[in-house]
Each structure stands twice: as C-alpha cells, then as structure tokens.
Structure 1
C-alpha cells in the first residue's frame, strides 16, 4: 500500500498502520518531517521506504535541507509509485 501523507498530524496513525511492503510519500505540509531535526525523522527513517515530493519541498524552500535518507521524487515519480502499489490511502 502507498501511504500519501499530506498532514503532519496524521503521521502517528500512519506509523501504527504501516506494514511490511508499504511505502510512504510525504506531500504538502508533511514534507517538514523529512528535515533531520524534525521529531518524526527517526521514525520515518526506520520505515526505509519514504519518498518526498520535490515540488512541495521547493515551494517551502526546503529542497536543500531535506535528509538524504529520503528519496525526492517529481510528479512523474509520484505517478510511478501509485502504479507500483495496487492500493493507496491519503492521509
């Protein structure tokens, strides 16, 4: 399952429901969690399958601050993730 996370407030619930084989992409305001000093950074790092939408990083001026642990994807990469996963849920 692909977890499309828009809101930081939803991340604790995502962490509870994330299963092996799942992938997560941070979009909109949730991209702040990709910063190394963010409170959710360690939990996200432990998931090993986290991407961040480049456009949302750029619109917030964060593209150079994001942790190298996470893959930055463009809109085409986002579409590729949705194709790879039969199911997705938006948080």
Structure 2
C-alpha cells in the first residue's frame, strides 16, 4: 500500500501514464502543487485510472485559486490529512 505524491500538471501526460502503470490496487494518489489542476472536473480523464482513490492538498488549491472547484470524486485534505495519509501508507513515492 503506497501513497503516490504527484506535483505535475495534467499536461504532463507521460508522468500520469507512468504513474497509472505503477499504481496498485490499495494505493492512494495525492495531488500537490501544479497537479491540483487535475482535480478540476475538466481534467477528470487524467485521473480515471486511479479509481477514485485521489486526494488533493487544500493549501495548494487555495494558493492557485482553485478552492471550491474540485471534482466531487476527489477528496480535499489539509496538511493534517496529508500527515494522516503518510501514517496509514507503508511507503510514499514522489512523482516529479
């Protein structure tokens, strides 16, 4: 069970493809930094491969003016939620 941290925008299709290939049945994806744009409803196609196991960091949404615009299929977490995700997963993998 891994937590995948992704900071690339949805335009970085190769990273999303590679992540999708490495993503396990019990894994979770956390969108951070510019990956927050993948949390918008218009970008839902790039996160379909992750089966609804996607969260986005609230602080990064706010800093980009995206708060309140997130797809309902994505969970918004704050820094405490981020910490909780790291505690409940065996490993963290960063995709940059």
Is TM more than 0.5 here?
Answer: yes
**In the alignment, is the contact (CA less than 8 A) between 1:25 and 1:50 conserved in 2?**
yes
The answer to whether residue 20 in structure 2 is matched with residue 15 in structure 1 is: yes
C-alpha RMSD over aligned residues: 1.2
**Matches of residues 52-91 of structure 1 in structure 2 within 5 Å?**
52-91=56-95
Q: How many residue pairs were aligned? A: 89
3-state SS in 1 of match to 2:90: coil
Moved over 2 A (4+): none
Ranges in structure 1 where 5+ consecutive residues have no aligned partner: none
Ranges in structure 2 where 5+ consecutive residues have no aligned partner: none
Question: How far apart in 2 are the matches of 1:37 and 1:20?
Answer: 25
Using structure 1 for the length normalisation, give the TM-score: 0.91
